[in-house]
Amino acid sequence: MKLLEDRIKKEGQALSETVLKVDSFINHQVDSVFMDALGADFAEHFKDAGITKVFTIESSGIAPALMTAEHLHVPLVILKKQTSKILNGNVYQTRITSFTKGTSYELTLFADYIMPEDRILLIDDFLANGEAAMGASRIIEASGATLAGIGILIEKSFQKGRKRLEEAGYTVYSQARIGKLGAGVIEFLPEEEPQAAKRNRQTEPKSGEPPAQTVGKTGSRRAVGAN
């Protein structure tokens, strides 16, 4: 998406060969009008995917995800980062290791906000190693719902996340794809093909990714997973 690439070229700062800073319009200060344009683009891309809910992971994904949900006229659900397990709640949980911080957290969803018939569009700001998105997918699959698409603002294509998600059978659309980062260097890959060409891809995971570690409605764990 040219709009996003141009903004990254103008304001993005490569902090290293792996970390891009976009604090001036996405991660710290948020350009609301710009987020609306990104949301409209995601909504257009996934308009025929039967999306019933947009999911994101707190906190940087919230702004573009909310705009996407608004354009699709569906609710937004925010997956929470808890520091420890909730052992007696009606929740799904799975452990994630943060790419930028190197720390772990329990990605958490209150079970009332997902139904087996839901078709979920997951939106996040960055795709690096795919830890966050795979964690969200474990929770979604454990609930019986379908992860019908993944929308990413900035994919760092030199890291393994994209490959991992596609190997698991998910449809991924990234608005900007970075092929190389370094001191003063931000190189983009060509724009993604339209969704129509990808629409028929399968949505069910086929790799050996583990299921979510969950806490069921009774408080007893009912799946063992990725810790």
* 225 labeled part of a ligand binding site: no
CB hemisphere CA count around 166 (13 angstroms): 10
130 binds ligand 5GP (CB under 6 A): yes
- Number of Cβ within 10 Å of residue 78's Cβ equals 17
- Residue selected from 41, 106, 125, 192 as contacting ligand 5GP according to rule CB under 6 A: 125
Which whole-number Å values give the CA distances from 178 to 26, 136, 170, in the listed order?
16, 23, 20
From 132, 153, 168, 176, residue interacting with ligand 5GP (rule: CB under 6 A): 132
| 132 is an annotated ligand-binding site residue | yes
Q: How big is the site for ligand 5GP, counted in residues (CB under 6 A)?
A: 18
**Residue among 21 and 222 whose Cβ is closer to ligand 5GP:** 21
- Residue 174 interacting with ligand 5GP (CB under 6 A): no
Cα dist from 4 to 39, 55, 123, 169, 207, whole Å:
12, 21, 15, 26, 32
The smaller minimum CB distance to ligand 5GP, of residues 46 and 99, is found at 99
How many CA atoms does the CB half-sphere of 103 hold within 13 Å?
Answer: 8
* 8 A C-beta contact, residue 199 and residue 179: no
Contact pick of 82, 90, 129, 195 for ligand 5GP (by CB under 6 A):
129
Report the nearest approach of ligand 5GP to the CB of residue 92 (Å).
Answer: 18
The interface mask with ligand 5GP, positions 55-74, x = CB under 6 A, is --x--x--------------
Terminus-to-terminus CA distance in the chain, angstroms? 36
Closest CA to 62 of 89, 44, 35: 35
- The response to whether 156 counts as a known ligand-binding position is yes
Contact, 214 vs 221, CB < 8 A?
A: yes
Between 27 and 82, name the residue whose CB sits nearer to ligand 5GP.
27
Residues facing 172 on adjacent strands? 150
State which of residues 72, 127, 142, 172 lies at the interface with ligand 5GP (CB under 6 A).
127
Q: In the set 5, 41, 118, 131, which binds ligand 5GP (CB under 6 A)?
A: 131
* Rounded Cα gap, residues 57 and 181, in angstroms: 24
145: number of Cβ within 10 Å: 19
- Beta strands 172-182 and 13-14 are unpaired
Is 131 annotated as contributing to ligand binding? yes
161 binds ligand 5GP (CB under 6 A): yes
- Residue 129 annotated in ligand binding: yes
Q: Which residues make up the interface to ligand 5GP (CB under 6 A)?
A: 19-21, 27, 57, 60, 99-100, 124-132, 161
- Bind-site residues for 5-phospho-alpha-D-ribose 1-diphosphate: 128-132
- Bind-site residues for xanthine: 20, 27, 156
